[in-house]
Structure 1
């Protein structure tokens, strides 16, 4: 495996893929123009957003689909020929190439009934079962929505106001990225062309000029966009041979977004309103997949007490790129809950199976869980470099081991009986007045 000719071939093929995928930007290709939300809310959410059937066809892609598709086909053939049909790393590379072929088809069919078909191929469906379990993502999403909507949430005070301007947020985040990554490694800049309040791509965090933030929002941005999304990109770029680990096809989305949410949790940066919003996304995808139109999904969340702005945002995320009448929608937003559950189960299983050393490989680049055992094996052989940038709890696994160890041990308890026991104590307590909670920034 360490044959110099093999390694050089691996690097050349990887670099070709990195170059070919560069102009393929899914979110840019399906984003909506500014002003749609205001017009929709002025109509009290009774009329579908004013996006004609030809809207997406007028939005030019940054590449020529037929040309890039053919080049990807040739690259896949070269991977098989130069690395061998049975080469394990070659198979991961081929699977990534296949994903980009499907992405091209997804973008060809923006605004049509076929869009949802290709989205489900890439990201899955809300009706899918969780890995190793009979529960569906929709069931999990509903359960989490219930938990994060319990009366107790209203009694949690969140004393964080959105007093930080976009310019101040950029200054603060630049300093934090320098502390974590070193000087000059990560760019943080103002943006006028993103829909969410902040997003990350490559080695750059973009902050929406129109947004304002709380201190807690910036903590979420630091770990979600910085430690996870940018950290894994830079770790992938550090790879001497497998350079494709620096780019993320949809096959790695669930692990990326799930890990970002997990890091929010482990650093105590998240809060119930944000967790509820992430859980709502699964429900929104399922409703839209089942045929509910934009107005019906929006109204579903309004009726559940979600604000007009947040109801619009969760609905818009699902319908971008698809059909406003439902059925054919963008299913990416199941990735946050799906990835969180699968990452937690992976870490717990790695600990219980006696192989905790594989856990830091989650940050080696843009990966799937199925990739990790092989990548760890190749790491031991010197082909895959260890992740350079690791969150502190993944550098020293002792605390993580104990945290997940206790969690696993307590999972055998009957929570219903435990809750029944303590509820007798709680019934005697006075009921305090609920505390008002602020809304948080929309992070993609």
Structure 2
């Protein structure tokens, strides 16, 4: 039997069928739309908070019944098994969607928190290969940003463009890279985040001004990772689910997207601080801080009322606002970045640049890139059609990673300024 013109063995056809069942089962599992706040409520609360009128918002969430989806996902888990890496991929993916369904069925209650931590981790989790935690890393970047802030004010990019201007600019750039009309760029007045990306559409928040840094970050993060991996995933002959971000690949996807910003020179210390503050805020909320306290924390860290509100909202989406609960998704940005960075260095050390290219063949977790190697070699999983610009220049990438590998052997605690000046 063939799929998309590719002849499949009976074993691969079985996995392709299970994969289609998985996609059908998860259609109603919509994580971010389920926990979104109405724009009218947001605008009213932001206006009130800007005037110092603090009160806990009242947010009502329609609670979905996902029992049929959960039952089907459990069946797929059992049928996929662990005898083959492709079966293991399907089993892990179905399990993560099933946990996400359980999470959404608890929306608006404290029971939302535990499954979100299973999916996205908690701030105190250790960083692979380190004795430090994600929380330690967040504190480090916030402290470093605060120390450097006054020195970097002169480098701040004061130029900005309106959403419509950026939309036209991005559309032209993406047409040149992917082909005319492959990805549409739209302005969305209802969007909470500054931008959001799918396979063929990137949305920008209306009424927002964007800096040149924002433009670079959107291209590196949204277009050349999120949209690119979705498009490559759509070309897969067996695992069509590689075009969709399952909960279990969120950490790798977001970590890879922030890593792309780093490799492209599109990330600044303020961006690292924003990512890190969200992790500290999740930890605060889990330890009892309520929405108002978290809002005031972001405000005390220099964010304006609009950004402080939306930052606090990200932490409390889907959970009670009185403290002791949180939506853990923003935990993955920094931990994902650090883990992806380590993976790139490991692959270079192992002389496995092919694994780094495979990471862009769809929405994959790092574990998948390793476990699915036999299927990459057989052609059951096809290599990516598109790679980000910075991945197309492998010598430059290898140079950056090789330098990083070596300088990490230098222990900064042993470095004295006098020894540096005498050595030159």
CA displacement at 1:311 relative to structure 2: 2.6
Structure-to-structure mapping, 1:424-439, within 5 angstroms: none
What is the DSSP-based 3-state SS (H/G/I as helix, E as strand, rest coil) of the residue aligned with 2:11? helix
For 2:416 and 2:58, the matched residues in 1 are separated by: 49
Map of 2:14 onto structure 1: 9
Structure-to-structure mapping, 1:2-401, within 5 angstroms: 4-34=9-39, 35-42=43-50, 44=52, 46-48=54-56, 50-52=57-59, 55-57=60-62, 61=64, 64-80=65-81, 85-151=82-148, 154-158=151-155, 160-161=157-158, 163-401=160-398
Conserved in 2, the CA contact under 8 Å of 1:107 and 1:115?
Answer: yes
Conserved in 1, the CA contact under 8 Å of 2:116 and 2:327?
Answer: yes
| Distance 1:269-1:5 versus aligned 2 partners, 3 A rule | same
CA displacement at 1:39 relative to structure 2: 4.0
Q: CA RMSD in A?
A: 2.2
Larger RCO: 1 or 2 (CA < 8 Å, sep 6+)? 1
What is the DSSP-based 3-state SS (H/G/I as helix, E as strand, rest coil) of the residue aligned with 2:372? helix
What is the DSSP-based 3-state SS (H/G/I as helix, E as strand, rest coil) of the residue aligned with 1:189? strand
Bigger Cα displacement from structure 2, 203-212 vs 231-240: 203-212
1:227-268 Cα offsets, whole Å, 9 max, x none, are: 000111111111111211111111111111111111111111
For 1:73 and 1:44, the matched residues in 2 are separated by: 48
| Distance 1:187-1:305 versus aligned 2 partners, 3 A rule | closer
CA displacement at 1:274 relative to structure 2: 1.6
1:6-54 Cα offsets, whole Å, 9 max, x none, are: 2222222212222322332211111112215424414526322x214xx
In structure 1, runs of 5+ residues without a counterpart are: 426-444
| Distance 1:394-1:262 versus aligned 2 partners, 3 A rule | same
CA displacement at 1:170 relative to structure 2: 1.6
The alignment's TM-score, normalised by the length of structure 1, stands at: 0.87
Runs of 4+ in structure 1 displaced over 4 angstroms? 422-425
In structure 2, runs of 5+ residues without a counterpart are: 1-6
Map of 2:3 onto structure 1: none
Map of 1:441 onto structure 2: none
CA displacement at 1:307 relative to structure 2: 3.3
1:343-396 Cα offsets, whole Å, 9 max, x none, are: 110111111223232111121111111111222331111111001110133233
Q: How many residues align?
A: 413
Bigger Cα displacement from structure 2, 225-234 vs 130-139: 130-139
| Distance 1:297-1:383 versus aligned 2 partners, 3 A rule | same
What is the DSSP-based 3-state SS (H/G/I as helix, E as strand, rest coil) of the residue aligned with 2:226? helix
CA displacement at 1:287 relative to structure 2: 1.0
CA displacement at 1:178 relative to structure 2: 1.2
